[in-house]
Structure 1
Amino acid sequence: MESHDLTQVEQSRYEKGEAMRRQVLGDEHVNRSLGNATAFSKPLQELVTEYCWGYLWNRDTISLRERSFINLGMITALGKMEELALHVKGAINNGLTPEEIREALLQTTIYCGVPAALEATRTAQRVLTEMGIDTHE
């Protein structure tokens, strides 16, 4: 990001956002997202980094754990399984257990519907397995 594109406040928010994004989602994902940005998609990446991660995720009224719980439900409701996979990893990074993730997804069954919850549970199971977390007990 070129510093002349942003005000000092925006630059600070962007830097905080990138740090938070890396903390929750991991360097690999952030490097890929920012590295793959084109002239067309770069403004969206900047917006997400500055406002989603720099402003919202840096607020201290609720914890990162609580934000992860909220995101699991909302993303399931939206049916965005690629984003859900990413946020399952983030939820683990933010201290949620596989059991808590399961409970969040069970909650979505009632409020979002069985098909959404089934797909979300399959996605979460795949991610947890890929992360080496045993969920078979």
Structure 2
Amino acid sequence: MSKTELFEKGLKVRKEVLGEDYVNKSIAGADEFTRTMAEWSTEFCWGACWTRPGLDKKTRSMLNLAMLSALGKTHELKLHVRGALTNGVTVDEIKEILLQVAVYCGVPAGMDSFRNAREAIKEVQGK
């Protein structure tokens, strides 16, 4: 992995939001094919975007939940539900975000998002 200042800032935030174990496993699992994408997303998504002063982590998490739900990116949604809980988004707030998705993006998108968010919430809560 490259060690630019932006990458290091991104790595720090990524670990804070997603958990050090998850990020370390993700980095260790990168191979020659996926390494560039892993570096790029850490540097630009986490380093350039998440470290900007305009929004706090909770707000960024809430936006990610809505966008990932709208796009039907369930694997990433589950990951970011866990991160959102870490960033102080409550289960009730997640529910409201997903209801908003259902209204504006369609009930199937909302239903799928609720199913996947419920799984992630149960994992975090240990239920």
| Structure 2 unaligned regions, length at least 5 | none
The equivalent position to 2:57 in structure 1, one of 47, 53, 64, is 64
Alpha-carbon distance in 1 for matches of 2:119, 2:25: 21
**CA displacement 1:28-74 (0-9 Å, x = unmatched):** 22112111111111000010000000110000111111101110010
Task: Give the alignment of 1:88-99 within 5 angstroms.
Answer: 88-99=81-92
Amino acid at match of 1:46: E
Query: Corresponding residue for 2:25?
Result: 32
Alpha-carbon distance in 2 for matches of 1:57, 1:86: 16
Q: Secondary structure at the match of 2:75?
A: helix
Query: Corresponding residue for 2:43?
Result: 50
| Structure 1 unaligned regions, length at least 5 | 4-10
TM-score between the two structures when normalised by the length of structure 1: 0.88
The equivalent position to 1:15 in structure 2, one of 8, 23, 35, is 8
Amino acid at match of 1:91: A
Identity of aligned residues (%): 43
The equivalent position to 2:76 in structure 1, one of 77, 80, 83, is 83
The runs of at least 4 consecutive aligned structure 1 residues that moved more than 4 Å come to: none
Alpha-carbon distance in 1 for matches of 2:6, 2:101: 32
Root-mean-square deviation (Å): 1.3
1:115 and 2:113 are equivalent in the alignment: no
Amino acid at match of 1:17: G
Alpha-carbon distance in 1 for matches of 2:114, 2:81: 10
Alpha-carbon distance in 1 for matches of 2:67, 2:126: 23
Check whether the contact 2:2–2:39 (CA below 8 A) recurs between aligned residues. Answer: no
**CA displacement 1:102-135 (0-9 Å, x = unmatched):** 000000001111111101001111111111177x
Aligned-pair CA distance for 1:2: 4.9
Query: Corresponding residue for 2:118?
Result: 125
Q: Secondary structure at the match of 2:125?
A: coil
